[in-house]
């Protein structure tokens, strides 16, 4: 097996970052009423870039990240959330059936007693929801006519 050079690793990191930025720029929030708006706030966009970058670094496998409340509230439709203090925001990212970037953001209240179990349950819940969305091309199933 050949070793990679510093230049190759640097080029790979740059490509990952550029691709993650392109994916984040193509993410939309779909409202229950059929409206859609781009994820444009810098904090929300930054969270998406970070998640997509980790996804690409891990070979394209869907990723789940725990976000800060500030990051989550920057996503469209989250501004007016009335949530308990113990709810935590989780973000899942992947590519849909047509290779379009897709994300799911949910607030979860988990209290299994330890952080590892809470994280494992959150990842399972978020990936389950994301997989429902990425089975289709384009609009999520709830927004189809």
Each domain of the chain, given as residue ranges in start order, spans 6-143
Check residue 126 and give its pLDDT. Answer: 93
Tens digit of pLDDT at every position of the chain (145 positions): 578 899 998 999 999 999 999 999 999 988 778 788 899 999 999 999 999 999 999 999 999 999 999 999 999 988 766 777 788 899 999 999 889 999 999 999 877 778 888 889 999 999 999 998 888 776 555 444 3
Check residue 68 and give its pLDDT. Answer: 93
Check residue 45 and give its pLDDT. Answer: 97
Strands (E), the chain: 28-30, 36-38, 63-66, 88-95, 101-108
Check residue 145 and give its pLDDT. Answer: 38
Token pair listed for 138? 């384009």
Interior angle at CA 97, CA 107 and CA 94, nearest 5: 35
Q: How many residues are given for the chain?
A: 145
Check residue 32 and give its pLDDT. Answer: 75
Check residue 1 and give its pLDDT. Answer: 59
Check residue 115 and give its pLDDT. Answer: 82
Check residue 35 and give its pLDDT. Answer: 84
Sign of the CA dihedral with 120 first, then 68, 54, and 138 last: positive
């Amino acid at each position: 097996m050949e070793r990679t050079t510093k230049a190759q690793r640097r080029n790979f990191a740059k490509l990952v970052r550029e691709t993650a930025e392109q994916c984040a720029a193509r993410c939309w929030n779909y409202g229950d009423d059929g409206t859609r708006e781009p994820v444009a706030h810098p904090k929300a966009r930054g969270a998406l870039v970070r998640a997509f970058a980790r996804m690409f670094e891990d070979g394209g496998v869907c990723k789940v990240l725990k976000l800060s409340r500030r990051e989550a509230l920057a996503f469209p439709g989250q501004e007016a959330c009335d949530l308990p203090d113990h709810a935590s925001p989780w973000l899942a990212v992947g590519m849909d059936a047509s290779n379009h970037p897709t994300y799911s953001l949910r607030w979860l209240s988990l209290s299994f007693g330890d952080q590892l179990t809470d994280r494992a349950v959150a990842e399972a819940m978020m990936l389950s929801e994301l997989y429902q969305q990425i089975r289709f091309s384009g609009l999520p199933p709830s927004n189809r006519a």
